[in-house]
Amino acid sequence: MQDGADLSTVDLTGLTPAQWLAEVAAKGEDHGFYEPLGPSHHAVFVEDGDTLLVTFETLPGIAALSETATPLGWEIMSAGGWSHLALLATSDTWFRDPKVYGFFDQLLDDGFFDDFERVIFYGAGPCGYAAAAYSVTAPGAQVLVIQPQATLDPRVTGWDDRFTDRRRLDFTSRYGYAPDMLDAARQAFVLFDPRERLDAMHAALFERKGVTRLRLPFMGDALQGDLLDLDLILPLLTALAEDRLDGASFARLLRARRDHPPYLRRLLAHLEATDRLTLAEALCVNVTRRFNAPRFRRRLEALRAARPRSGSGAQSG
């Protein structure tokens, strides 16, 4: 394996899409390879360590989530000393393209994944679907996916009305049904918020041997962004790589959300909506003791003002 492929300091902000892609391709050619897969998909491999991280990402997602406009895997691989294969899409395509099928077919035929001691597939949302689906080409791989769709085949998930314009994509041919493609994985973890109904319904389709579904209640419908804000993606992948990821270790990592305002606001809203006002007040007390949180302070004052006062009835004379 090559050494020293540190891309953590690369900054690609301010580039046009063509310039950005040219820079990414150049890094791949310098440290591994770059391969265009038609107009909508690209593959970039950077060789470093004996653990290979395979990520599926979109260009809009990278622009929205990365301060340096670089693939998420570059920062992670540099921190972990891993090799990295990035599958990049120009939009949410679910990577349903014969050229992508052919690329993974070729990797399988070439024994590409056999050169690594450990292979990890990662993605979120449509990219989570792809990470699960294509993991079948690396038997024994480990998989971490966030809010994945199982399929968009309307005969199976016609209840999901979020992506109706994408139902024309072919989910019935090769690598089509993501849960089935996990049968070759050594272990897989599916992260989702059970209160997000459609995400939870997709997650239920992944119920099978070797797949652990990890719940993140009140974290909402943009889990990858929140987990990045909490600096939890790298610890999750590291725990997976070191065979330490399970329900208990996940719960310990997730304690960080106690300092995450969006989570706390959603939890407070739920407690008030379900008329659990004593717990809502306790939450406000906890938050205001730890943070400068004007919203929680105002709610605490309102809850206390609305609390029935003992012995407040009229006295008889």
- At residue 85's C-alpha, the angle toward residues 82 and 90, to 5°, is 140
pLDDT at residue 1 above 50?
no
| Helix H or strand E segment including 120 | strand 118-124
Q: Where are the alpha helices (DSSP H) in the chain?
A: 17-31, 59-65, 72-80, 98-110, 126-134, 154-157, 178-181, 197-205, 223-229, 233-241, 247-254, 261-273, 277-290, 294-306
pLDDT at residue 156 above 80?
yes
> pLDDT-derived band of residue 73, with 50, 70 and 90 as boundaries?
confident
d(CA 253, CA 255): 5
Q: Which two tokens stand for residue 4?
A: 């020293």
Q: What is the pLDDT of residue 159?
A: 96
What's the pTM value of the predicted model, to 2 decimals?
0.91
Q: What is the pLDDT of residue 312?
A: 47
> pLDDT-derived band of residue 206, with 50, 70 and 90 as boundaries?
very high
| Mean pLDDT, the chain, whole residue set | 92
Query: Each residue of 246-296: pLDDT tens digit?
Result: 999 999 999 999 999 999 999 999 999 999 999 999 999 999 999 898 999
> pLDDT-derived band of residue 33, with 50, 70 and 90 as boundaries?
very high
> pLDDT-derived band of residue 44, with 50, 70 and 90 as boundaries?
very high
Q: What is the pLDDT of residue 41?
A: 97
> pLDDT-derived band of residue 60, with 50, 70 and 90 as boundaries?
very high
Q: What is the pLDDT of residue 4?
A: 52
Yes or no: say if 4 and 31 are a contact pair by the CB < 8 Å rule. Answer: no
Q: What is the pLDDT of residue 7?
A: 80
d(CA 222, CA 192): 10
Yes or no: say if 265 and 295 are a contact pair by the CB < 8 Å rule. Answer: yes
pLDDT at residue 87 above 90?
yes
pLDDT at residue 172 above 80?
yes
The burial class, CB within 10 Å (0-12 / 13-18 / 19+), for 166 is middle
| 3 state DSSP class of 158 | coil
